[in-house]
Chains A and B, each alone.
Chain A
Amino acid sequence: MPDLGLSVLLKGKNFARILGGLGVALKISLVSVAISLLLGTLLGILMTWKNPLSRAILRLYLEFIRIMPQMVLLFLVYFGTTRAFGWNLSGELSSVIVFSLWGTAEMSDLVRGALTSIPAHQYESAAALGLSKRQSYFFVVLPQAVRRLIPLSINLITRMIKTTSLVLMIGVVEVLKVAQQIIEANRMSSPNAAFGIYLTVLLLYFFACWPISLLAKYLERRWR
């Protein structure tokens, strides 16, 4: 077995530090995911309304967030708000704000897509059965839309978890930054550590994202 430099992980508190880094990444992403799922669903429903003003505003918001690289958004919120308004947001809070803005925008478009993909005859049949507008929405359209949403939102959630690696640019020390710190601190004593440490990071991301995929699979089967 080639030397992967894994012994570096056992030095001092290194393993606890890298797990702590994963904790930071998960805390930021899961809080943002919770906010995004909630707000994204609300905005997605709003987007299907025919009101031209609300549609235009939501469209603008979505396009703005979609075009902006997350890195730019992080810099805008972390440094920009200090320049413009003198707010001193912490790195973690800035990250949660950016990831929530991003997640909400993408989630709302997914919800809009899922809702509009429900064929018109479903609405019509519900009306023919004597269900009110509200009833047909909650009992017929939404359950079907949610089922279509599952694989799409899982993609978004795992993407949000992985993209937290960018927050090291605003001074938040998360799993990837800890990994780089460990590799660099041992650059002389174990120059091969990079491979082993990055492999560990890969496994950690995998174990963070895999349960979410399992949950999605379960829900899809359950709601068939």
Chain B
Amino acid sequence: MKYIRKALVLLTILTLVFAFTACSSSDNESNAEPVEDTIYRSLSDIQESGTVRIGVFSDKNPFGYVDENGEYQGYDVYFADRIAKDLGVKVEYVSTEAANRIEYLQTGKVDIILANFTVTPERAEEVDFALPYMNVALGVVSPDSRVIDSLDNWDPNDSIIVISGTTAETYLIKNNPEIPLQKYDSYATAKNALENGNAVAWANDNTEVIAFALQNEGYTVGIPSLGSQDTIAPAVSKGNTSLLDWLNEEIKSLGEEQFFHADYEATLVDTYGLDYEDSLVVEGGVVQ
């Protein structure tokens, strides 16, 4: 009995140690799994079945959300509707969360993810991204009385508000370590802090700060695009080339009719205004 207990304790410790050290290597392991090539549906499979399954956000207004009549709406959904129309099939929307988007593609439970999916090298190892249809970057908003339009020659007495865990926080720590940061857990507390004048500016995704400045009098986005420009693109299961090629062709041909500008004007203009149309929209898959 004593030995069994000892063995159990040892096993528990080993598990915990393994769990902590495995964090970094777990990615490689999942790659080592045999990937069945039947897991996803090719272009012809989708067209034969008559329905395309597209994963979208159902609670990210104005990109993907559900209106009061239970209909999916938003910038991503506008595009998804068009994809279904041009494929000649019906569309079935699947409500996804930020954390399970990759899993949905890897198990072939959706054909396409159109959920405000930012292209990163890490994600590109797990899924295949098509051409981009939107830009994202960081932005900095500050009061009209003292607009911050540059992070150079920073006065160390001034601090910037960030929300913990966002890309803005990571970017500033890495690239501007001299700037003191004030970290808040939620959007609401960060907003209060800026309004109370706790710091001189607030850094966040540029879509967020632009929307904030438009809704709140007396604030200006002094730096609308900071750091590396990332893009948002549709994603398909790794290796689903027939669907990927079709999507890329679709995005290119939609560029000729300025489809994403029309999409912006139909879905995003209320939130971001017309000024940012050309900086946010990517037309024909070509980043300016």
Contacts and interface: CB of A to CB of B under 8 A. Distances in A.
A41 to B, nearest CB: 30
Contact of A185 (B66, B95, B99): B66
B223 to A, nearest CB: 24
Contact of B100 (A82, A169, A180, A186): A169
Interface string B56-67: 001111000111
A83 B33 contact: yes
A82 B107 contact: yes
B36 interface: yes
Interface centre among B73, B99, B104, B107 (most CB of A within 10 A): B107
A182 B70 CA distance: 9
Nearest to B97: A169
A205 interface: no
Contacts of B66: 181-182, 185
Contacts of B222: none
Q: Is the interface of A mostly helix, strand, loop or mixed?
A: helix
B67 A185 contact: yes
Interface in B231-261: none
B94 A171 contact: yes
Interface stretch (A7-15, A23-31, A123-131): A7-15
A88 interface: yes
A83 B60 contact: no
B100 A170 contact: yes
B251 to A, nearest CB: 26
Contact of A82 (B39, B58, B215): B39
Contact of A12 (B69, B103, B107, B271): B69
B108 interface: yes
Closest 9 CB pairs of A and B: A12-B68, A82-B107, A184-B59, A11-B68, A181-B66, A180-B59, A12-B69, A185-B65, A184-B61
Contact of A173 (B95, B99, B100, B270): B95
Contacts, number: 70
Nearest to A184: B59
A217 interface: no
A159 interface: no
Nearest to A16: B70
Given A12-B68, A83-B33, 6 more contacts: A13-B70, A75-B103, A82-B107, A83-B107, A169-B100, A180-B59
B250 to A, nearest CB: 25
A66 interface: no
A162 interface: no
B70 A17 contact: yes
B49 to A, nearest CB: 13
A177 B57 CA distance: 11
A139 B167 CA distance: 66
17 contacts: A12-B68, A13-B70, A14-B68, A75-B100, A79-B109, A82-B108, A83-B33, A83-B106, A83-B107, A88-B109, A169-B97, A169-B99, A170-B100, A181-B59, A182-B68, A185-B66, A188-B270
